A and B are shown apart, each in its own frame.
Chain A
Amino acid sequence: IAGITQAPTSQILAAGRRMTLRCTQDMRHNAMYWYRQDLGLGLRLIHYSNTAGTTGKGEVPDGYSVSRANTDDFPLTLASAVPSQTSVYFCASSRDRTSYGYTFGSGTRLTVV
């Protein structure tokens, strides 16, 4: 089934630990994004990638890194998790400038303790 897959679904993580959230799409979308969703703050962009091999910073990039080695995968890494990174993380993708709508993954609920 074509779509976008995130893993894990949820995770409890000790502060200071390193964690990679996985995101894979099979729609051959050029652009991919990572958002965090916090109550009252909506969806805030962490990092994005317009095409394989390129990445960019969103509005809340500190403490996070991404890579885009190929079209399908866009992992998000927390190098040393802190409690303020407790959130629901959504990966999304879009095809190109002629198709602007996002397809979202099902989300990863991360709790940093």
Chain B
Amino acid sequence: GENVEQHPSTLSVQEGDSAVIKCTYSDSASNYFPWYKQELGKRPQLIIDIRSNVGEKKDQRIAVTLNKTAKHFSLHITETQPEDSAVYFCAALKTLSNDYKLSFGAGTTVTVRA
């Protein structure tokens, strides 16, 4: 099955700086890569996703890049703010498989220092 590794496990950044989280996946057939944000005590929520036919996608201060050859994808948060503090999960999915199961990374705890 798919194995998703996520680094770093914790990340502390100064407010206004950028944060980068990296994930690698094992199954070259995976072609959908979402990112979830989980605030303390809350449910995970989808913040951005990318499909394998796209190399980069942006949404305001958040961007995701995908390198299919190297089988890794990254989340970039620019101009970080205190409300960006949360746990972030990457995930991967083979949309042509017989099911819709996402494989999640272990998560990155991001702390934005004021």
Contact = CB atoms under 8 A, between A and B. Distances in A.
Interface of A: 31, 33, 35, 40-45, 48, 50, 56, 58-59, 90, 94, 96-97, 100-102, 104-107
Interface string B77-114: 00000000000010001010011111011110000000
Nearest to A96: B100
9 contacts: A41-B106, A42-B6, A44-B104, A45-B101, A50-B99, A56-B99, A100-B34, A102-B36, A106-B42
Interface stretch (B11-19, B43-51, B53-61): B43-51
A112 to B, nearest CB: 20
A61 to B, nearest CB: 13
Contact of B99 (A31, A40, A106, A107): A31
Nearest to A54: B99
User: Looking at chain B, what size class is its interface with the partner chain?
Assistant: 20 to 34
A43 B107 CA distance: 8
B45 to A, nearest CB: 7
B43 A106 contact: yes
Contacts of B46: 101-102
Nearest to A105: B43
A42 B89 contact: yes
Interface in B17-42: 32, 34, 36, 42
Nearest to A98: B95
A91 to B, nearest CB: 10
3 closest residue pairs by CB, A with B: A42-B106, A104-B43, A43-B104
